[in-house]
Amino acid sequence: MLGIRNSLFLIILLGLQPYFVWAQLQQKPVWELKTSKSEVAVGDELELIFISKIQKDWYMYANDFSEDVGPTVAFFDFKKDPSYQLIGKVKPVGNHKHFDEVFGGEVSTFEGKAEFRQKVKILRQNPQIKVSIEFQECSTVTGMCVLFEDDLIFKNIKVTAGDNKELVQKETPATILPVTNDTIKKETLKTDTAKVAIIKPENLSASGVSGGNQTSLVGFLLFAFFGGLIAVVTPCVFPMLPMTVTFFTKRSETRALALKRAFGFGLSIIGIYASLGLVFAFFGLGADFGNWLSTHWLPNILFFIIFIFFAASFLGMFEITLPHQFVNSVDSKSSMGSFMGVFFMAFTLVLVSFSCTGPIVGSLLIEAVGGNFVKPLLGMAAFGAGLAAPFTLFAIFPSWIQNLPKSGGWLNSVKVVLGFLELAFAFKFLSIPDQTYHWGLLDREVYISIWIVVFFLLGLYLLGKLKFSHDSDLPYVSVPRLVMAIITFTFVLYLLPGLFGAPLKALSGYLPPKETLDFDLSKSKGGLNQNDSEKKNDLGEIRFKSLFHLPHELNGFFDYKQALAYSKKVNKPIFIDFTGHGCVNCREMEANVWSDPEVLKRLSNDYVVLALYVDDKTELPENEWYTSSYDNREKKTIGKQNADLQISKYKANAQPYYVLIDGNERVLAEPKAYDLKVENFVNFLEAGKKQFSGN
């Protein structure tokens, strides 16, 4: 009995282990060093190769994008030595560029393996090439983002004194002498798997890069399946439903044969669309192509035009059709016996319905073609399954046909609604190059204004106040149309405050960054004792105020010692925010949790707010440099000193990370990481306040 109890306790403990994260560190990756030649002569050139394996569900930022975007760019600092000369810059190999919607710019990342190469010219024998590196890795599952640094040495490079003869290039390992953190205890090298969620550069939807995220793939397949179901209720497909089912039931000698043909018909539709997806999978194969699609102006402008073209078709400006001779030729083969006849009947349905399904299929292919190989294939198969499901079900239960509504003007209304949606989402493609290339065409207020107009017109259409040339008269508004109109106008009202600074959190992935907004009324008045200017300034000028800022107009500090001194002076606890310029989850916490009135009130009134940026590269005066007792390395910059403080004092190296202390540096509550539940954060702040008051 005791053994069972201990086993259950162990299982529970292991299950809860991810939540005990406040004193854990993420293990530093190991770098493998190679050279492109096994030996060289003095005067020869060779490539230094840096390789690091990246664990599953993690990625590393490369060095070929602008530091101004946000994330930490990989940095290589070669110690000058007369034995070698650098040629060019460090180049990443196998990295993937994509547009990051959160940062509003192009970033570059590695998954699985990171590789960098630096070309050097060997000037003397026995060269020793010392390199200090700094890089950032983030998890797509846990949300952990960690900034690492390391010192590496290329040693024992074989150099001959002879002529610069041509040598066979061969990657051979060089001696690796990294400076390791031996002080880290093994029991602390555990990964936080619960408290933080992360940057999402991997969603190549209409606007980003697909990263193989399982959740996003499932969501895309569901979207494609429902797209197939929607296609069934378009004017090109819906009238064929009873005719096709009647064909199976009346032309088959037995019910078993009718069911067999019905399933064959459905599988044929799935196979046809899957084949189309397979073709596009080959065209879109490779992350480089997908990344080019997601960031370059040319494909995005092309997709914008295509969506506008599809929208115009759905709104009745013209009809997309295939050549009649081709359709008739395929239709003539549907009378063939056995499975081939069923297949060509399915093929005929696909062709005849093209004018209605084409825009939907095109949208899905654009969504999928930049992703991995299986996304277009499975996406088209899912769309085919959605289109085929009603045909198969009605063939199995033919009596259901009697309950179908009659064909009429409502079918055209479905097309028009889809046309408005296509028109709205077309501007997402234009927004991507606009942000990447800084054209300034679609700032946030312009984008939101366009959506307000589009959805307002959609609402008028649903109420019958707007009519197109091919629409039937609407004698009255049905309840479903009224409900849809209410939803549409509600969405318009939701958009309106966004013109004046409302965050519109539900649409954060579709809208341009809030920083592009020209007129923002959402800036709140917060901070330390807003009505007491003397208290705000009694320590003189806040250090680093010109470099950093706090969200929501909070007032606070960016220097640890200054915050401690102020805490003692005003007798308030300190809220430490270990953050970073490139920390997406930090911004998400600030936007979704800090903005809550209950949280903001407590931060403003009850705490001295201290933001410590761990990735800032501003070099401090030499008299403030120090050598860390944690890794015996000299800390010269603001970021390195803040990161060293977090690691050495709180045994954590991921951001965001929040610590509550008093003026004597005593921890008041268990530190907290990423958690979007406002209630939990309020309880965290209340626990620290209560502990401070009790001391």
Predicted pLDDT at 209: 32
- At 437 the pLDDT is 63
d(CA 648, CA 631): 9
Cα gap 55→395, rounded to integer Å: 49
Q: What is the pLDDT of residue 321?
A: 60
Q: Are 647 and 639 in contact (CB under 8 A)?
A: no
Contact 613, 581 (CB under 8 A): yes
Q: Where do the DSSP E strands lie in 166-215?
A: 169-173, 175-176
Neighbours of 124 (CB within 10 A): 12
Return the pLDDT at 8: 41
| 492: three-class secondary structure by DSSP | helix
Task: Please list, in sequence order, all residues whose beta carbon lies within 8 angstroms of the beta carbon of residue 266, skipping any fewer than 6 positions away.
Answer: 346, 385, 388, 389, 391, 392
Helix (H) or strand (E) run with residue 450 in it: helix 444-462
113 to 62, 116, 119, 193, 552: CA distances (angstroms): 11, 10, 20, 21, 39
Token pair recorded at residue 668 = 């008041």
**Which three-class secondary structure state does DSSP give residue 664?**
coil
In three-state form (DSSP H/G/I as H, E/B as E, the rest C), the secondary structure along 403-423 is: HCCCCCHHHHHHHHHHHHHHH
Query: According to the model, what pLDDT value does residue 125 have?
Result: 84
Query: pTM of the prediction?
Result: 0.47
Residue 38: per-residue pLDDT? 80
Burial of 473 (0-12, 13-18, 19+ CB in 10 A): exposed
pLDDT at 341: 73
- Say if residues 670 and 688 touch (Cβ distance below 8 Å): no
Q: How far apart are CA 642 and CA 611, in angstroms?
A: 10
Q: How many CB atoms lie within 10 A of CB 381?
A: 25
pLDDT the model gives residue 566: 92
Residue whose pair of structure tokens reads 């003539």 in the numeric block: 332
Distance (Å, rounded) from C-alpha 600 to C-alpha 594? 6
Domain ranges within the chain, ordered by starting residue:
31-188, 214-405, 533-694
Q: Any idea what DSSP says for residue 557? A: B
Query: How is residue 272 written in tokens?
Result: 């046809």
Q: How far apart are CA 412 and CA 604, in angstroms?
A: 55
DSSP 186: G
Strand ranges in 129-197 using DSSP code E only, listed in sequence order: 129-139, 145-155, 158-160, 169-173, 175-176
The domain 31-188 is classified under which CATH number: 2.30.30, 2.60.40, 3.40.50, 1.10.20? 2.60.40
The amino acid sitting at 353 is: S
Q: CA-CA distance, 333 to 533, in Å (whole number)? A: 85
Residues 6+ apart with CB under 8 A from 511: 444, 447, 448, 498, 504
pLDDT along the chain (695 residues), means of 10: 43 41 64 87 90 88 81 88 90 85 77 92 87 86 77 85 46 42 35 34 33 57 87 76 69 71 86 83 53 64 84 80 57 60 79 72 66 72 89 79 67 84 86 71 90 96 88 86 95 93 73 71 49 46 84 88 91 93 77 89 93 87 90 88 90 88 92 90 94 81
Q: Which candidate, 132, 129, 142, 148, places its Cα nearest to that of 61?
A: 148
CB 557 within 8 A of CB 593: no
Do residues 130 and 153 lie in contact, with contact meaning Cβ atoms separated by under 8 Å? yes
Q: Which residues of 100-115 are buried (b: 16+ CB within 10 A; e: fewer)?
A: bbbbbbbbbbbbeebb
How much of the chain is helix, strand and coil, in % rounded to 5? 45, 15, 35
> Which has the closest alpha carbon to 461: 470, 360, 426?
470
DSSP 302: H
The length of the chain is: 695
CB 30 within 8 A of CB 137: no
Q: Which of 156, 154, 163, 59 is nearest to 113 (CA)?
A: 59
Count CA atoms within 13 Å of residue 128 on its CB side: 5
Q: Which one, of 219, 242, 247, 71, lies nearest residue 146 by Cα?
A: 71
Please report which helix (H) or strand (E) contains residue 346, including its range.
helix 338-352
For the segment(s) 533-694, the CATH number from 3.40.50.720, 1.10.150.120, 3.40.50.1980, 3.40.30.10 is 3.40.30.10
In DSSP notation, 77-130 reads EEPP-TTEEEEEEEEEES-EEEEETTTTEEEEEEESEEEEEEEEEE-SSS--EE
Angle between helices 354-369 and 214-232 (to 10 degrees): 170
